[in-house]
Amino acid sequence: MPSVESFKKRRERVAAMLPVLKAEHPDARCSLDFDTPLQLLVATILSAQCTDARVNLTTPALFDRYRDARAFAESDPAELESMVKRCGFFRQKAKSIRSMAADLVEHYDGEVPDTMEALTKLAGVGRKTANVVLGDAIGVFYGIAVDTHVGRLSRRLALSKHDDAVKVEADLMKIVPREEWAMFSHLLIHHGRRICDSRSPKCDICVLFDHCPSGPKVIAQREKATSRKTKPSSKRATSSTSKRRRTSSAVTK
């Protein structure tokens, strides 16, 4: 991992990267379909270890069947499990949704609260989920949602050296303008999915190459690996020469 600069230097790089990323990904937004904070809360719970596309296939029927927090809280467990089954870990997710909805009914009259403290007290709701709901459904910015893409790109771009999502978030909050917190997360997610793949990043076409300490290193490693493959080893060359000598000797005899 590249060395991490001062917060001032990182702020400057983020300021330079933001317009580039926005131009590259003009469609960057929350990938989950929703109309209300409750719907986004449910969708985000379902998205754990599941693609947003699969969640979006599940939620239309789900939201038509359960219109508010009370409906989710009083839902039949088996029916709810059946409706969210395609999202994986459906029993635990259905349980989390029912418990979360019950908390909303009991403590907030069925409404989704607008603070980090209140949201993270709900069953099944962690800081990342709370950040998504607050930033995208309510328009309140308490932090930056850090998923696997955001964490990976933050390290590759040397914006953070940490693996822990909470520590990555703390670093990003110091260098990304507050009004861009939600958008920055979406931009990195889109860029991670389309360009900065975990195993094979497309550094040769990346618009952030000039701002990325990792890009030149990745290119250099690939060129070195390619050179190694195309250059015959001395052992193989010697073996070939010996074989030709033996063949020549046999013909002479």
Which of 93, 128, 136, 171 is an active site residue?
128
Which of 33, 52, 68, 147 is an active site residue?
147
Q: Is 16 in contact with 177 (CB distance < 8 Å)?
A: no
Amino acid making up residue 44: T
Catalytic-residue membership of 147: yes
Tell me, what DSSP letter sits at residue 49?
A: T
Kindly compute the dihedral angle of the four CA atoms of residues 15, 20, 25, 30, in this order, to the nearest 10 degrees: 0
Return d(Cα 159, Cα 145) in angstroms, integer. 15
**165-175 vs 181-194: helix crossing angle, rounded to 10:** 120
Q: Which residue has the tokens 């300021």?
A: 15
Cα-based distances in Å from 37 to 29, 208, 251: 15, 33, 85
Q: What is the secondary structure of 178-202 as a DSSP string?
A: GGGHHHHHHHHHHHHHHTS-SSS--
Catalytic-residue membership of 202: no
Q: Is 99 in contact with 78 (CB distance < 8 Å)?
A: no
CB atoms within 10 A of CB 103: 19
Catalytic residues: 128, 147
